[in-house]
Structure 1
Amino acid sequence: MDASVIVVGAGPAGLMLAGELRLAGADVLVLERLERPTGESRGIGFTVRTTELFDQRGLLPRFGELDTSTAGHFGGLPLDLTVLGAAHGAARTVPQSRTEAVLESWARQLGAEIRRGQEVTGLSQDAEGVNVTVAGAERALRARYVVGTDGGRSAVRRLVGFDFPGTPATTELYLADIRGVDLPPKMTADPTAGGLVMVAHLPDGITRVIAAERGTPPARRTAPPHFQEVADVFKRLTDTDISTAEPVWVSAFTDAARQVTRYRRDRVLLAGDAAHVHLPAGGQGMNTSVQDSANLGWKLAAVVRGTAPPALLDTYHQERHPVGRRLLANTMAQSLLILGGDDVAPVRDILTELLDHPEVAHHLAGRVSGTDIRYDTGGGRHPLLGVRLPHHALDHGARRTSTTQLLRTGRGLLLDLADNPRLRHRAAPWSDRVDIVTAALADPPEHAPLATTAGALVRPDGHVAWAAPGAHHDLPTALERWFGPAR
C-alpha cells in the first residue's frame, strides 16, 4: 500500500479530511490535479457550525482576526443569527484561498503527504484495496480506501460510476472580484430589478460583485467568462459602469442541483462538491464540504487502524446524505426567492411575515448555519443526543477548560459531570480511544441541557452519542457502536 487512504482533491474538503485522518493516526496521501493553489477567493467565510469546528480543532487563531457577523439571509430575506445562541458568529470575509492555505499547513504539520500535478485517470477496486492511475506515472498507486473530494466535476465520481441525479441548470450567474471601484454593499433580488445583484467588500481592497439577469439560460463554457460580460450585465441591472475596474478573478456558476445516491461504493467514498452541487447560497457549499470531512475522517481512521469495523463507514452515508439532501432543498428554495420573478413575490411576502415568529427565524437560521444538524445516535430522550456538544466552560480539577478544548485531540470524550466512578470504570476498556474526563460546569446555566446532564459520550466530530440520564442504550453499547470493541 502506498497509503492507507488516498484523497483526491486538495480543496477545503480534501485538506480538512487529510488533517482529520492524521489527527486520528491514519496515514494519508492527497493527490491534486493542479500544480499549485489557484489563489482564487471562491467560497467566502464560514457558517456558524464551521467556525465551531475550526475552534474545536484549535485552528481559528491561524486565520488571524476574523470579521464575524450575526447577520445572515435566506433567499435575500434577513436573518438574525443571535437567535441560535452560539458561541461564535459567522465569519464573513475569509477567502477560500486562505482557508485552503491554513488547512494545508495544518495537514502537513500533522504528517499528511500532498502531491500536486497529479491527475487521476483511472480507479479500480478489489476486496483488499483500490488502485489509482495517475497520468504520466509509471505505476498505479494503491490504498485501502480512496475518497474523492475533487469538486463538482469529480473524476472519482465519474470513474467509479456514482449515480448523480438532480435538476439541470436554468440560470447563469456571473461573479467577479475587482479592484479600483467604489461600490456600496448591497443585495437586490427585487423582481422589478430584472435579476440579482450582490456587492460585498473583501480584504485587500477587493470588491465582489455577483450579477444574474432573470431568465438568462446558462452558456456552454469551457473557460471563465470575460470580465466585460460581467460588467455589461451589471450595467443593465444597476445602470452603473464597472468596466474600468481591475478584474482579479472572474467566474460563472449556475443553479444546477445534484446529489449522488450513495456517498460510498465499497472502498471509494465521496465528500464535498463531489457528492453534491447546488446554488452557492450563503456559502453553504464549502462549509458543508468541510463538515462532510469532519464526519468521515475519524470514522475512516478508526477503520484503517483496525479499532472499528468497516460497517462504521456506513454511518457516514446515513448521516451526511440527509444533510446534503436538506442542503439542496434550502438552496433550491433560496434560488426561487432570489431568481424568481413577480410570481414569487407573494411567497417572499409571506416568508417575511413568518420570520417575525421566533420559531421560524430560529429554524431558518439553523438551516443556513448548519447548527440544526442532529444525527441518529441510537435514540433516547436526552436533548443533547445526536447534536453537537455545546461550548461551555468547565472546571477540571484546579484547571479551567471547556468542552471545545477537550475535543482538540480528535479523540472520543467521556465527560463525567457527576463524579461517577462507576461510569468511568465502565468506559475504562476504551481509554485507548476515548478520553475520560471528570469535570464540573463553570457557572452552570439554569436551563441549558448540560445543566441537567450527568455524563456524555462525545464522538471526535463533537456530536453526542450517549447522555445520562435519558439514553436508551447503556454506555458500553454506545462505546462499542462508535469506537469498536473494547480492548
Structure 2
Amino acid sequence: MRDVVIVGGGPVGLFLACELGLAGCSVVVLEREAEAQSPWRKFPLGLRGLNTASVEAFYRRGMLLRLLAASGGRDEVGADLDADQAPAPRSVNHFAGIMLDPAMVNLAALPLRLPSPAMDGMLTSLDAVQSVLAERAVELGVDIRRGIEVTGLTQHDDKVVVCAGEQEYTGRWVAGCDGGRSTIRELAGFDFAGTEPQLTGYLFTGTVTGRESLGPGFNVTPNGMYLRMPAGGYLGMMDFDSGTFDRSRPLTSGHLQTVLRRVSGADVTVDEVDLASSFTDRAMQATTYRQNRVLLAGDAAHIHSPLGGQGLNLGIGDALNLGWKLAATVQGTASYGLLDTYTQERHPIGARVLDWSRAQVAVMRPDSYAPALQALISDLLATADATTYVWERTSGTANRYDLGNEIPLTGRNAPDFRLDDGTLLGDLMRTGRGILLDFSPDQHLHDAATGWTDRIQYVTGPARNDLGYRAVLVRPDGVVAWASDDIPDLESFDRSARRWFGSPKV
C-alpha cells in the first residue's frame, strides 16, 4: 500500500508528487496518457506563463535552473540582491485583452517584496514543466505509471482502492489531479458548482492566407476576440455562442475560417489546419477539495477560461499548499485539522480566480453595452493604482491566507530574506521543512523552538533587510505562519508552531 496515489500526471500531479517525495512519502502517479510527449504540450499550443508565485515555488525547490534550460531560456538566474527593493515587474499580463504597462506598477505599494533570484514571471511550455517535474519526482523515488486509466474508486476507513481495469492501486490517501473532466471527482461524489459558458474558444495552428491583415496580440472586436501570436502560425478566437460548439463537431478548416472571419472582420482563408482544439469559459468549482481520504487539486478542483493564464498557476499553488500538509498527516506529525486548512485556504483563492475570469468575459461580451464598458476599463487600467492591482492579482503576490493575525506579513508568501552571510531564504527551503528565521538572536526563542527541530530549521543571524521584523516562522509552502516585530512573544510562537507543525517532541 502506498502512502498516496495521485491520479493525473500533469504539472499539478507531478508537483504534488515532488512535494510528497521530498517529505519521504511513498507515492505512485497514475497517468492516462501512454506517452509523455505530445504536440499539445510543446510550443506554440503548449505555451504557458508562470506567475511570480509559481516561479518562486520552482526556485525554492531547486528546480528553476532546470526549468529555464528546458524552456530554452537563460541558464542562470540572478538579481541585484543588495538593492533596497525588488525590481519592477517586466510584464503585467492583460485584462480582457487590454495590455498593461509594467512601468505603471507602483513599487511603493508593494512593501513586502525583496530582491530574489526568482524572476517575476516567465514563459515556458507544458512540455518543459512536465519534463522537469517528472525528472525530479523520479529522483525523489516517485513511481510514475503511464497508460493507466482509472475506472473505479472505493473508500475505506484507513485506505482508498483505485481500480484501473483489472488492476488495483491502494493508498492511504488519493489525490485527484486529473483535469477538468476529472474521473476521481466524479467517482468520489464531489459537488461541482458554478456558471455555464458564454463562449466557445479556439486555438489552432496552420496556414492562413491573409494572416498579416490580422492585428498582433489580443484584439477585442464587436463579435468577440482573437489572438495572433507573432510566430508559429498560432491563432486563438473567442466566439460568443454560449459554448454550444465546443466538442460538438469536428474542428474543420471551414468552420475555423467562418469563425475567424466573423470575429476578426478580416477576409482571411484557413488553408490548412495542423492542430486545433476548443474550450469554453465554463467556470466551476468543487464545493470542497476533500471527501474523506480523497482530495482534489488543479483543474479537477476548479475550471475556468484560460483568460489571463491563471489555471496552471492556480494548480501549482494547490499542490504547494496540499503537499506538506498531506505529508505531515501521513507521517503522523500533523496537528488536528491541518488537512482541513487545505480547502479553507485554497477554495477562496480559486473562487477569486473564477470571478476574475468571469469579469473578463463580461467586459468582452459583444453587445451594445460592451464598448462603453471596455472604454471605462481601459481608462482605469491606464492608472498606476489599477495596473498595480492587476499585477498583484495575476502574479499571486496579493494572496493572503487568513491566519487570524493582524501582522501584515503573516499569511503571505515570505519575502526572500538574505542573511548577512549571503544565505537566502530560498536556499534554505529546498528541504521542504519549516524555517524559523531569528534575525536578532533570542535564546528564549531558540529554546522554545527545540521541540520541533525535526520539522523546523532554526536559522539565526541578521539580514541585509529584515523589513522591520525580528523573527519570522515560514511554513514549508513559503507562507509566513508567524512573525514578530518586537521581542518575540513565546506564547504566540508556541501556538503557531503547534497549529502548523503539530505537537513538539518531549
TM-score (norm 1): 0.90
Name the count of aligned residue pairs. Answer: 467
CA-to-partner distance for each residue in 1:262-310, whole Å, 9 max, x for gaps? 0101110000000101011121011100110000001000110111146
Q: Which residue of 1 aligns with 2:499?
A: 481
Whole-angstrom CA distance in 2 between matches of 1:225 and 1:62: 36
Shift of 1:464: 0.1
Report percent identity of matched pairs.
Answer: 38
Shift of 1:228: 4.3
The residue type equivalent to 1:200 in the other structure is: M
Whole-angstrom CA distance in 2 between matches of 1:81 and 1:486: 46
The residue type equivalent to 1:189 in the other structure is: V
The residue type equivalent to 1:62 in the other structure is: R
Shift of 1:246: 5.6
**8 Å contact kept, 1:81–1:89:** no
The residue type equivalent to 1:475 in the other structure is: F
Is 1:189 the counterpart of 2:220? The answer is yes
CA 1:313–1:43 in structure 2 vs 1: closer, same or farther (change >3 Å)? farther
**8 Å contact kept, 1:218–1:254:** no
Shift of 1:418: 0.8
Whole-angstrom CA distance in 2 between matches of 1:113 and 1:227: 41
CA 1:179–1:20 in structure 2 vs 1: closer, same or farther (change >3 Å)? farther
CA 1:354–1:180 in structure 2 vs 1: closer, same or farther (change >3 Å)? closer
Q: Show the 5 A alignment for 1:315-326.
A: 315-326=341-352
**8 Å contact kept, 2:247–2:278:** no
**8 Å contact kept, 1:165–1:261:** yes
Q: Which residue of 2 aligns with 1:112?
A: 142
Q: Which residue of 1 aligns with 2:120?
A: 89
Is 1:134 the counterpart of 2:164? The answer is yes
Shift of 1:238: 4.7
Structure 1, unmatched stretches of 5+, are: 445-449
Q: Which residue of 1 aligns with 2:55?
A: 51
The residue type equivalent to 2:360 in the other structure is: Q
Is 1:99 the counterpart of 2:129? The answer is yes
The residue type equivalent to 1:109 in the other structure is: E
The residue type equivalent to 1:474 in the other structure is: S
CA-to-partner distance for each residue in 1:153-211, whole Å, 9 max, x for gaps? 000000011000111122101101347987563211132xx22111224xxx6242101
Whole-angstrom CA distance in 1 between matches of 2:306 and 2:291: 26
3-state SS in 1 of match to 2:179: coil
Q: Which residue of 2 aligns with 1:40?
A: 40
Q: 2:98 aligns with which of 77, 86, 99?
A: 77
Q: Which residue of 2 aligns with 1:406?
A: 428
Whole-angstrom CA distance in 2 between matches of 1:352 and 1:114: 47
Structure 2, unmatched stretches of 5+, are: 75-88
Q: Which residue of 2 aligns with 1:387?
A: 412
The residue type equivalent to 2:229 in the other structure is: A
**8 Å contact kept, 1:224–1:250:** no
Query: Alignment RMSD, CA only?
Result: 2.3
CA 1:242–1:52 in structure 2 vs 1: closer, same or farther (change >3 Å)? farther
Whole-angstrom CA distance in 1 between matches of 2:58 and 2:315: 13
Shift of 1:221: 2.0
Is 1:364 the counterpart of 2:386? The answer is no
Is 1:174 the counterpart of 2:202? The answer is yes
Shift of 1:77: 2.2
Q: Which residue of 2 aligns with 1:417?
A: 439
**8 Å contact kept, 2:413–2:479:** yes
Whole-angstrom CA distance in 1 between matches of 2:155 and 2:171: 9
**8 Å contact kept, 1:171–1:255:** yes
Is 1:243 the counterpart of 2:270? The answer is yes
CA 1:102–1:414 in structure 2 vs 1: closer, same or farther (change >3 Å)? same
3-state SS in 1 of match to 2:423: strand
Shift of 1:217: 4.1
Shift of 1:80: 3.7
Whole-angstrom CA distance in 1 between matches of 2:431 and 2:267: 52
**8 Å contact kept, 2:216–2:229:** yes
Whole-angstrom CA distance in 2 between matches of 1:12 and 1:339: 32
Q: Which residue of 1 aligns with 2:18?
A: 19
Shift of 1:245: 5.2
CA 1:162–1:366 in structure 2 vs 1: closer, same or farther (change >3 Å)? same
Q: 1:151 aligns with which of 155, 179, 189?
A: 179
Shift of 1:330: 0.5
Whole-angstrom CA distance in 1 between matches of 2:102 and 2:7: 35
The residue type equivalent to 2:283 in the other structure is: A
CA 1:437–1:221 in structure 2 vs 1: closer, same or farther (change >3 Å)? same
Whole-angstrom CA distance in 2 between matches of 1:13 and 1:48: 17
**8 Å contact kept, 1:148–1:274:** yes
**8 Å contact kept, 1:45–1:96:** no
Q: Show the 5 A alignment for 1:402-481.
A: 402-442=424-464, 444=465, 450-469=466-485, 474-481=492-499
